[in-house]
Amino acid sequence: NAGVTQTPKFQVLKTGQSMTLQCAQDMNHNSMYWYRQDPGMGLRLIYYSASEGTTDKGEVPNGYNVSRLNKREFSLRLESAAPSQTSVYFCASSRGGLNTEAFFGQGTRLTVV
């Protein structure tokens, strides 16, 4: 039981390049999330998927797109990376609804130069 697995762990992009962060969970959770974490700013929600087949914007969605490929997988895409997107990205999942304990992946440290 691996929990939440996200790849890659580290990535360096040049401004304007695109990339997709992958996330998968094996806990049969309904809800999945993408957060970014910047120093002194806690965790900010980028996008979430309350259930398979749905996605919604979070607090900071600009510059990102997501795909809930199936119940297990939720990917985050940067179409044209900008230095402001340098951050640590966390994928998380939860059962959803009132049971909102979130289980996190190990994080992706992204640097855009």
Binding residues for other proteins, per CB under 8 A? 40-45, 48, 50, 58, 90, 96-98, 100-102, 104-107
For residue 25, what is the enclosing H or E element? strand 19-25
**Closest approach of other proteins to the CB of residue 112, in Å:** 20
- Residue 82's nearest CA partner among 32, 16, 22 is 16
Cα angle: 45, vertex 7, 51; to 5 degrees: 45
**Closest approach of other proteins to the CB of residue 99, in Å:** 9
For the chain, the C-alpha Rg in angstroms (whole number) is 13
Please say which residue, 69 or 102, places its beta carbon nearer to other proteins.
Answer: 102
Please say which residue, 19 or 43, places its beta carbon nearer to other proteins.
Answer: 43
Please say which residue, 69 or 88, places its beta carbon nearer to other proteins.
Answer: 88
**Closest approach of other proteins to the CB of residue 58, in Å:** 7
- Kindly tell me the sign of the dihedral angle through the C-alpha atoms of 37, 16, 64, 92: negative
Please say which residue, 14 or 42, places its beta carbon nearer to other proteins.
Answer: 42
